[in-house]
Amino acid sequence: MDVDIKGKSDKRRGASLAFPASVLVLVIMIVPILMLFRYSFNHFDAAMMVEGFTLDNYVKFFQDAYYRDVFFSTVYVAATCTVLSLVLGFPVAYFLAKTQSRYKSLFIILLVFPLMVGNVVRAAGWMVILGNAGFVNFIAQKLGLVDAPMQIMYTPLAVIVGTTGVVLPYLILTLQSVLEGIDFSIEEAAQSLGASFFTAFRRVVLPIAAPGVAAGTLLVFILCMNAYATPVLLGGTGITMMAPALYDQITKAANWPFGATLALVLVVATLLMALFSNWLIHRRYVRTMVS
């Protein structure tokens, strides 16, 4: 009884300590969104924002083919980068979770190191690699694969490659932490009962790791949808995404109402698609575990 009372007291104390910080975070997150929500219904007249209530900004977004293309380009790039990150990152996370090598700490440090470098610096590195006189074109020409430099920079491909490179460590670290909590003896047991490596991985490891996959893909998708520096530096005028578009509306055109509208559309769309993908993965996870 004393132990239960002490445990409940510790939980209440922990909740009371976390409550002020949680409220502060909520205020910091919600207040700007509420302000943007209000701005999105204002008028824009003669380079000035006029208080009022109108749906013209939302009508403009949904009727203007340019901004619809910007939105769908953003979704396409984010979805592609998320899938690529999952395909490339899961094997690395699986290896790090299972390895007993004494160099494991070094591998993790190498994985974390890019996160210490700003996105602008990393994008500049990709510009050196993907440029007309960059490493990729140099190798392709030396091997005789192309006669003239390929145009990789300022294309959707460059944005996808650069953005995937930025978000990949986040997915690997998230998946690794989940996979390390799995008892891999059940995978070995499945193989001892006749299952191949891929069957055991698909029927045993992957369902257990599904919550981690959901969390990692959710994080990566949100980061990709809101990417700014990489699309601007690597995409140029070849592709426009939502974050640079709304930034231009606010800073260059001074059109706060329409910029706020773009921001809200981006936030709501990202949230809905992220929740849907998370629900889909968890639904698949529950079905697999039940069967």
- The mean pLDDT of 182-190, rounded to a whole number, is 79
Whole-angstrom Cα distance, residue 123 to residue 228?
A: 11
* Greater pLDDT, 254 or 14: 254
What band does 287 get if pLDDT is binned at 50, 70 and 90? low
Q: Strand pairing partners for 45?
A: 48
226-267 pLDDT tens trace: 999 899 999 988 888 999 999 999 888 888 899 999 999 998
**CA quadruple 108, 117, 240, 59: dihedral sign:** positive
Return the closest-CA partner of residue 66 out of 260, 222, 245, 264.
245
Nearest partner of 200 among 94, 117, 69, judged by Cα: 94
Question: Is a pLDDT exceeding 80 seen at residue 214?
Answer: yes
Identify whether the C-beta of residue 93 lies closer than 8 Å to the C-beta of residue 99.
Answer: no
Place of tokens 């910007």: 70
Q: Is 126 exposed, middle or buried (0-12, 13-18, 19+ CB in 10 A)?
A: buried
Structural tokens at position 3: 């132990």
Length, in residues, of the chain: 291
Q: What is the pTM of this model?
A: 0.83
Map out the domains of the chain as residue ranges.
58-290
The helix/strand/coil state of 44 is strand
Span 58-290: which CATH code? 1.10.3720.10
Q: Are 220 and 167 in contact (CB under 8 A)?
A: yes
Q: What is the pLDDT of residues 44-77, one digit of tens each?
A: 887 778 888 889 999 999 999 999 999 999 999 9
Q: Is the pLDDT of residue 285 over 80?
A: no
**Alpha-carbon distance 84 to 165, whole Å?**
10
Interval 81-125: pLDDT, tens: 999 999 999 999 988 888 888 888 888 888 888 888 888 888 888
Q: What pLDDT score was predicted for residue 161? A: 93
Distance CA 291, CA 179 (A): 21
